[in-house]
Amino acid sequence: MSSDEVNGSAAVVDRMAGALPEPGSAKSDPILVVDGVKRSFGGLTAVDVEHLEVQRGTITALIGPNGAGKSTCFNLLTGFDRVDSGRWTFEGRSINGKRGHQVARAGMVRTFQLTKALTRLSVLDNMLLGAQGQTGERMGGAFLRSVWGRQEKVNTERALDLLERFKLIDKRRDMAGALSGGQRKLLEMARALMTDPSMIMLDEPMAGVNPALVQSLLHHITSLRDEGKTVLFVEHDMDVIMGISDWIVVLAQGRVIAEGRPSDIRSNQQVIDAYLGAQEVEDEGSVSGDE
């Protein structure tokens, strides 16, 4: 059995069957299709993606060196930044120009590199904020309750179910600020699921997380895929990337320089030159741990 078959279920392997390991490759059933998306800051081109398709029901990693444009790409696609040019469709519908909460309501939800869990709100209130589709970062719990009314019961039940699933149920009354770094990542993921998205985008879900919680997060990510959701994630940890990705997209200087299964990417000389070579040196000197 190949490492790619180990990573994904048989169904996932089938979904990627016709996809060629090359930049811009067509997928059999793309949930997200990006065309000509560009974003510059002053004279610096941060993102310049000619064509990208993300296959439905898979785990796709977006990797690349620091400053490659990964977070900017996430920000653009999810309505947290504006493109200079380009268009993209989600579930066949254009979501250009939509704001973050509208994108979330369309079914595409993202988490942030630095967790946005409101530290002075309880874990449960953070979850209830998630039900709004990521708006209201400045809203308090009392406001939430008045807005929700009858809907609050339904949302609270969903929040408690998710907190149970993510093993945070005992923390529901604690302030989010009292959680460890890893628990905040779990809360971010749980919160993102409040709107029952079909696609979840995770920005560095493992950063600052201790090894025990890494296993738990990995389990949650693969479970989401196995339930039929699409996962797109940005990550630097190569063991994580190679271990759970069905497909990998490599960005360098804003452009997609390679795409493929983990085995394709590992042996791609251009990727080794632009990223993997330097990454190995970095990993040798790094120490990981929870906050």
Ligand X SMILES: Nc1ncnc2c1ncn2[C@@H]1O[C@H](COP(=O)(O)OP(=O)(O)OP(=O)(O)O)[C@@H](O)[C@H]1O
**Interface ranges with ligand X (CB under 6 A):** 41, 44, 46, 64, 66-72
Q: In what order do the strands lie in the sheet with 85-90?
A: 44-55, 30-41, 85-90, 93-94
Q: Which is nearer to ligand X, 9 or 113 (CB)?
A: 113
Q: Which is nearer to ligand X, 47 or 129 (CB)?
A: 47
Q: Which is nearer to ligand X, 67 or 136 (CB)?
A: 67
Shortest reach from residue 103's CB to ligand X, in Å: 18
Instruction: Tell me how far apart the alpha carbons of residues 129 and 39 are, in angstroms, rounded to a whole number.
Output: 29
Shortest reach from residue 278's CB to ligand X, in Å: 12
Shortest reach from residue 64's CB to ligand X, in Å: 6
- Within a 10 A sphere around the Cβ of 73, how many other Cβ atoms? 27
3-state SS assignment for residue 183: helix
Q: Which is nearer to ligand X, 46 or 109 (CB)?
A: 46
Q: Which is nearer to ligand X, 11 or 44 (CB)?
A: 44
CA 130 to chain CA centroid, Å, is 15
| Ramachandran category for residue 79: left, alpha or beta (phi over 0 → left; psi -120 to 50 → alpha) | left
User: Residue 33's closest CA among 193, 232, 244?
Assistant: 232
Shortest reach from residue 71's CB to ligand X, in Å: 3
Shortest reach from residue 270's CB to ligand X, in Å: 17
* Residue type present at position 35: D
Give me the DSSP letters along 186-212: HHHHHHHGGG--SEEEEESTTTT--HH
